[in-house]
Amino acid sequence: MFDRFTSIFGTGSDVPELIIGLGLEDWYKDLDENQRQKLRQHSTFFGTGGETNLLEVGRRETSQTAQEYLKGVGSTAANEGDYDFAEMVLLTALEREDGSATSTHFTYNELIDVYYKQRDSREDAIEKCVECCEKDIQIADEFVREFGEVPRIPAFKRLAIIYEKQERYEEALDVCDKALEIGTTDGTKGGFEGRKERIQRKMN
């Protein structure tokens, strides 16, 4: 009876029940008060029942892994323009060992966007973006096997564009070749084949 009561209403600890259930208690305790407030703010989502804050529900049980929860928080923070907090949370998500290749892929997607959106305001943004693209591409085969089909994988297009702008044409072509090998598309009419042709013309 007591276990059911604490599951529903919490234990009175200053650490939210969900955080305990996800094994993020130590991480949470290392956050400062401002970061904890942001975590609560960005833990809100809108469902069929209206607005819900995951940290105020008072339950430890969840179908989410810690990585999935943190990815969601980071995505919400990024959408609201809080890039520093989003980066911190998303990097923490990648450190978790409970994530699948699919969850890890979508976490990289969020980080890639976070860095690229800061390309004109942050000195190391492109460098960090490239790093995340490369790491996402490294797990692309595993992600596709797990996902069950070949979706668009934004890291390929983003990295090819960056390399092309940096006149690193050979590396851009390698990215296109890897994308073609996997079978993903860049969403353009010519696809990665057309992108390759444009890059090759610049090399001549």
Buried b (16+ CB within 10 A) or exposed e, 43-63: beeeeeeeeeebbebeebeee
Which tokens in the block code for residue 44? Answer: 């809100």
pLDDT score, position 58: 80
**pLDDT (0 to 100) of residue 4:** 34
Residue 158: predicted pLDDT: 98
pLDDT in the model for residue 9: 38
73-106 confidence digits (pLDDT tens)? 999 999 999 999 999 999 999 999 888 999 999 9
Q: Is 142 exposed, middle or buried (0-12, 13-18, 19+ CB in 10 A)?
A: middle
Evaluate whether residue 181 is within a structural domain. no
102 within a domain of the structure (yes/no)? yes
pLDDT above 60: residue 138: yes
Residue 115 forms part of a structural domain: yes
The range of the structural domain enclosing residue 61 comes to 2-149
Task: Give pLDDT, residue 44.
Answer: 86
Q: What is the pLDDT of residue 59?
A: 83
Interatomic CA distance for residues 86 and 83, integer angstroms: 5
What pLDDT, on a 0 to 100 scale, did the predictor assign at position 204?
Answer: 81
pLDDT digits (tens, 9 = 90+) for 7-30: 433 444 589 999 999 999 999 999
In a domain, 200, yes or no: no
Looking at the 3D structure of the chain, how many domains does it have?
1
Q: Does some domain include residue 7?
A: yes
Q: What was the pLDDT predicted at 47?
A: 67
Interval 148-199: pLDDT, tens: 999 999 999 999 999 999 999 999 999 999 999 999 999 999 999 999 999 9
Per the domain annotation, does 201 fall within a domain? no
Residue 51 has pLDDT above 50, yes or no: yes
Q: Is the pLDDT of residue 64 over 50?
A: yes
Look at residue 46 in the predicted model and tell me its pLDDT: 72
Closest residue by Cα to residue 116 from 173, 67, 162: 162
The pLDDT value recorded for residue 26 is: 97
| Residue 128 within any structural domain of the chain | yes
Contact between 89 and 75 under an 8 Å Cβ cutoff? The reply is no
Percent of the chain with pLDDT over 70: 92
So what's the pLDDT on residue 127?
Answer: 98
Q: What is the pLDDT of residues 99-124, one digit of tens each?
A: 899 999 999 999 999 999 999 999 99
User: Rounded to a whole number, what is the distance in angstroms from the first to the last CA of the chain?
Assistant: 76
